[in-house]
Structure 1
Amino acid sequence: MVRAVVGDELQFQFTEDRLFKPNVSAAQIGLVIGKLSPALDRAFVFDLITTPPNDAAQPPCSLLETPAKDDKRRGSKGKSQSQIDSSSLDIDCDWVAEHARQVSRMLLGGMSVVGIYIWASESAFKNSSLKIWQTVNQVAEAAPVFDIDVEERLIIHISYSPRRWTCRNCLLGSRFNSTSVRPCDFKMGKVLASLQTFKCMYNFELRLPIFSETASQGNTLKDVLHNGISQHAMELKGARAIIDGHLELEEQTRSSNGVHEVELLLPFVKDMTTEACSGKEIVGAVVFSGSICSFSYLSPKESFSQAIEDIKGDIIMSLRSRLDIICDEADADMGSTVEGDTAASRETFSDKSLPQAVLHLLRKPCGLIFPRRVLIPWLADSFICDYLQPSETFEVLKDHFRELMSIETPADTSKILELEAESCFKITKSFWVATTSSLLSSKPVDQSRPRSDSKADSKQPVKPTTSYASTAIVVLLLALLIGLYFGVLRSQ
């Protein structure tokens, strides 16, 4: 359980200066970016990000005033005080959760959406306890913290009447009660300046099986990649790490400047696809390979093992984020997708709609390039990221970062790091080619396969088994004749 929260004093001062300016709205909501550390019973807050207006240009949080019934019998001063005391917050929970979902894709290892902040009066905050708790739960569901079993998030309240900062620990759950929100210790410190940076270039190659039409597993490319990434996450848990050329120790901690170089060593595991090919429901395979540039940030007093866990989580979350991006585009492109099992419909899937394609229906090689990660300077010496499609340039980043993170991208594009190759995420083999390759070379040919496969197979060189048999017969006949010749000579 989080017992103490430490916020970056410089960023909090910037936030306070912004909020206490004239003409600022009476209510505001945003996200808390930081890190939960169960091992230390602490949370570290890096920054507060304002949630932008929704698609209808309405603010996600506004003040509702409910006049009391006896206002007519009060004076003007009493009426004003009554309205203030009965005010509450109207929060667009869905929009705040969507903001959290998109921002979480832009955070690197060791950084997460750990809660929300509220800018409101003390009375409005107290009168909206249930609504605020519901918002925190939706944010936690939309932006989960990878592989950390912590059922709590933070609520930071910035009050202007009276003027003060408070922090509360919000317990997630299905029911709200008096113990769902608890106060916790809150102080300022130099959080960002004390972060240590870890960098890892991770290369991978996943061979994922394609199941037949009768298999119970999902058969779309989206299903296959999603299952493959989840399987790889389990394998990645057992990986050891080399940090700056030295094998990582369990509780190793040391403070040093610069970026720590990390190399992950995966344990030897069985090839999932080769093992699955022994079954009758496998009709092919997808080869999913690439290279990921991963970063993680370690808070003070945390061990190096935590930085490695953050690197692993960043790799998996990055893969899932890229898959979500291409699937979102596929959903938008579904209107142009032709349904059916005809030969024509098998060729109608565009690059955008390919994630929704049923794989065992396709009959030609295909490939899909995943979005590449680019790194943008953020606070102190830290970075955040975004993803670009092959045809996109840095220009598309400007509006995205301005809207979601309330920052401007650097005018000098040389400060934006692009360490991943554009073509690094591809399905490099079609499942039909993979099926007829060495993966299934030990299996007998299935006579029920489509004719298109038979044609493909006919192009492969055929072993001259007939000529071998003829040669053997000739040699046998020669041996018999020689034997008869020497038999006749002896008899003479």
Structure 2
Amino acid sequence: MVRTVYAPESCLQYLEQYAAQEKFGIGLILGQITDSRENVIHLARTPEEKVSDTISEGESLLERVESMAAVSEAWVADHAKHVTRMLPGGMFVLGIFITSEEEIFDNTNASSKVKSVLNYMHKVLNVNPHMYGNCPGTNEKLVLHYSNKTVVCKSIEVNSAIKGLGAKPVDWKFTPKECQWQRLDTYYEFDEVYPVLVKKNGISVKDQFQQIVEEAQKALEVSVMFIDGELKDRSDPLDQLVKKKKPKNAKSASTDPPKSMMVSLFVPFESSMPETVEYLECDGSIHFSGVVASSVFLYPKATVKEAEAAVKQDIIRSLTSRFTMHCDALIDDNLLPEEKVCFNEPPRRVLIPVGSLYLCDYLFPGEAPAEALLSVRELLDLHVAAAAVLCGAETPADTSEFDALDRDASTEELATPQEASQAMYIIGISVALLVLVVSILVHYYSDIRRAVGNVV
């Protein structure tokens, strides 16, 4: 059975634009794969690679690629890695597109280069599993070749032992209407405390964030998803849930887009408790607190099971993306042991409209929406007005608690681990004595009541 992929006509216009310039072009295919249908949402041309620093006139010297042989595997893979951060859960880099008059699939050298690019991209996206760079369940990537004469799409299995290209035909269809997406929104709250151990070279911020992501993923894996406050059958299509909610007198031919569904994730109590209790003498702790705003978009006939996977992917991908960006922006990854209190504020999420759905970007504290437009223009090849960027999904961090801690740390020395454990021991004894006194009083009061009852 031939694989079928659907793309909006805006993608055809995008390809025609570059083909008309008679220049070689390569870029990424962004989309979603579900059991019911494969949809492309956008084509993003890979920016030209910088080959040197700024020249005398203040302009960057860019390397113009004229053929498939000159394409840098690392540059395309790096583009895919950065674009993946901007995709909501359930969306992936499905492959690459090429605009040129050069024959891609029948030319041995060109086809070999195509497979090399796909293999390298797959490898880079697999380095960090928390980013969900590669679409789970498949090792095939799409290759779309467009010229003024033909449109040919094939799927290629990556990291396989197959010699040659091993391409399979794909039926690529441009549709006049954009896909009607079902939106699912959720706000997932974090409020956890993690231990910190000081090593010889200090405390690695990256390692601490990695621990947070791993713990968050464990909790999400066992969490139960409710849609609009109800537990749904995982095999139900999303559009059936929308139909059940519509009143009987509603117009069946309504063209209004489906309303957003509110999602809640609950971690079972027994799963939130540790399997074993271990005494660990720590040098400090990290209080990780905040809310991740999540908006995912799925094909309406996607199942509740697929929607659940997309929501969980989105939360973990978002955490991983902003932690990575935060660590990359740090001058020194190590926190020195003598630092008493340190406040880290990763970038917050903003939404970027792309057709009838939203992709995302991240803004550091103090950055304006215009900063996000630079990434959108360079990585997605889109021109979006600053007013269209939705910045209200997540609010800036509240630093009042940190400010109070910082003031206390500047005037008082923090207790050593031994002093802290002694303090906890004293508190524990006090609580035990209080419980003992209360139990004696209750017992004594009950004896008096029984005695009075006997007299009466």
Q: TM-score normalised to the size of structure 1?
A: 0.70
In the superposition, relative to structure 1, how do residues 189 and 451 fare at CA in structure 2: closer, same or farther (>3 Å)?
closer
The correspondence of residues 292-331 of structure 1 with structure 2, limited to 5 A, is 292-330=292-330
In the superposition, relative to structure 1, how do residues 190 and 236 fare at CA in structure 2: closer, same or farther (>3 Å)?
farther
SS of 1:143's partner is helix
Distance 2:40 2:222 in 1: 29
Q: CA deviation at 1:420?
A: 0.9
In the superposition, relative to structure 1, how do residues 186 and 50 fare at CA in structure 2: closer, same or farther (>3 Å)?
same
Gaps of 5+ in 1: 64-87, 334-352, 434-449, 466-492
SS of 1:369's partner is coil
Match of 2:150 among 160, 164, 188: 164
User: What corresponds to 2:442 in structure 1?
Assistant: none
Distance 2:189 2:211 in 1: 19
Distance 1:209 1:227 in 2: 10
In the superposition, relative to structure 1, how do residues 251 and 362 fare at CA in structure 2: closer, same or farther (>3 Å)?
farther
Give RMSD over aligned pairs. 3.5
User: What corresponds to 1:366 in structure 2?
Assistant: 342
User: What corresponds to 2:193 in structure 1?
Assistant: 207
Distance 1:201 1:391 in 2: 23
User: What corresponds to 1:410 in structure 2?
Assistant: 385
2:115–2:165 CA contact under 8 A, matched in 1: no
In the superposition, relative to structure 1, how do residues 43 and 150 fare at CA in structure 2: closer, same or farther (>3 Å)?
same
Letter of the 2:306 partner, please give it.
Q
Q: Which string of whole-angstrom CA distances, capped at 9 and with x for unpartnered residues, describes residues 277-316 of structure 1? A: 5145x44321212101101111243102211210110000
SS of 1:6's partner is strand
Matched, 1:45 2:43: no
Q: Which string of whole-angstrom CA distances, capped at 9 and with x for unpartnered residues, describes residues 306-354 of structure 1? A: 1121011000000000111011112xx2xxxxxxxxxxxxxxxxxxx3x
Q: CA deviation at 1:419?
A: 1.5
Bigger Rg over Cα? 1
The correspondence of residues 135-284 of structure 1 with structure 2, limited to 5 A, is 135-144=117-126, 145=132, 148-160=136-148, 163-173=149-159, 175=161, 177-178=163-164, 180-189=166-175, 192-211=178-197, 213=199, 219-255=203-239, 256=242, 257-268=258-269, 269-271=271-273, 277-279=278-280, 282-284=282-284
In the superposition, relative to structure 1, how do residues 202 and 139 fare at CA in structure 2: closer, same or farther (>3 Å)?
same
SS of 1:246's partner is coil
Letter of the 1:24 partner, please give it.
E
Distance 2:401 2:207 in 1: 14
Corresponding residue pairs, total: 387
Matched, 1:61 2:79: no
Distance 1:60 1:300 in 2: 41
Match of 1:28 among 16, 20, 25: 25
1:239–1:264 CA contact under 8 A, matched in 2: yes
SS of 1:419's partner is coil
Matched, 1:89 2:90: no
